[in-house]
Amino acid sequence: MSEPLAGLSVDSVTGIDVSLPLAGPGARSFAFIIDWHVRFILALAWYVLATVLYNGGFSLEPPPGHQQTWFVLVMLPVLAIYFLYHPLVELAMRGRTPGKRSVGIRIVTRAGEPPGAGALLVRNVFRLIDALPVAYGVGLTLMVLTRECLRCGDMAAGTLVVYERSAADTALLQDAARRVGKLDSAGAEIAADLLQRWTSLVPEARIRLARTLLERYLGADADLSDADELEWRARLERLARP
């Protein structure tokens, strides 16, 4: 099994360090693929809309010859969307992009802060190197080879890509709080989560997870006899009753 990635640790005045887990090549590639589709769809949508309006009917054919108006109104915005997507969106969203946001990662400096405009600019300029020779070959190779999973742009700009958990399910955590006592805190969280998601899971998964939890906390005292799923839910609720 591969070793987990190191995290970024930043000292703070409270004495409690800020700890951010680093995102690996998988999460970063996934975010990039989402972003690539977002910018491709945006550029395509502009092309279709502007060309249809320009032609005055549903025709996607570019006009014959070099027409200045068509080039400025249609092609220039398309190229701008495609090539300026990353620097502009990262700047506007303070180190995030729609792709990064959906994967739960963001760009930070080594101090754990959102990067400034200069760092984001340098990071994006070095995409020229990272994208060589094809499909981000250099960038991916560097990410795999470096301990902090850095591509060339990150090295130049002093940035890192870290995971972030965007929002807490506070109802779940408060429900878990009421269940601590019969269970430890981790078990209380799992039980609260399982009961909350009970109806969205397939029946086999509900029963398998409930059985595992009962076995873990009750051991030999657990009633693991075959039963329908309502009975399994009742057993779980008895185990984790507030």
Interaction site with another protein (CB under 8 A): 10, 12, 14-16, 18-20, 66, 68, 71-72, 76, 94, 108, 111-114, 116-119, 121-122, 125-126, 128-129, 152, 155-158, 163-170, 172-174, 176-178, 180-181, 184-186, 188-189
Taken in order 190, 191, 196, 197, the sign of the CA dihedral is positive
> Which residue type is seen at 220?
A
The CB-of-226 to another protein minimum distance in angstroms stands at 31
Shortest distance (Å) from residue 162 CB to another protein: 8
176 versus 236: smaller Cβ distance to another protein: 176
Nearer to another protein by Cβ, of 89 and 157: the residue is 157
CB burial of residue 66 (10 Å; 0-12, 13-18, 19+) = exposed
* Shortest Å distance, C-beta 121 to another protein: 6
For every residue of 188-232, which 3-state class applies, written as one string?
A: HHHHHHHHHCHHHCCHHHHHHHHHHHHHHHHHHHCCCCCCCHHHH
- Which residue number, 70 or 231, has a Cβ lying nearer to another protein? 70
**By C-beta, is 160 or 207 nearer to another protein?**
160
Helix (H) or strand (E) holding 155: helix 152-157
Of 37, 155, 153, the C-alpha closest to 97 is: 37
Q: In whole angstroms, give the CA distance from residue 77 to residue 45.
A: 11
Cβ of residue 194: shortest distance to another protein, in angstroms?
13
Cβ proximity to another protein: between 43 and 119 the closer is 119
> E strands within the chain?
7-10, 18-21, 105-109, 159-163
Q: How far is the CB of 154 from another protein (least distance, A)?
A: 9
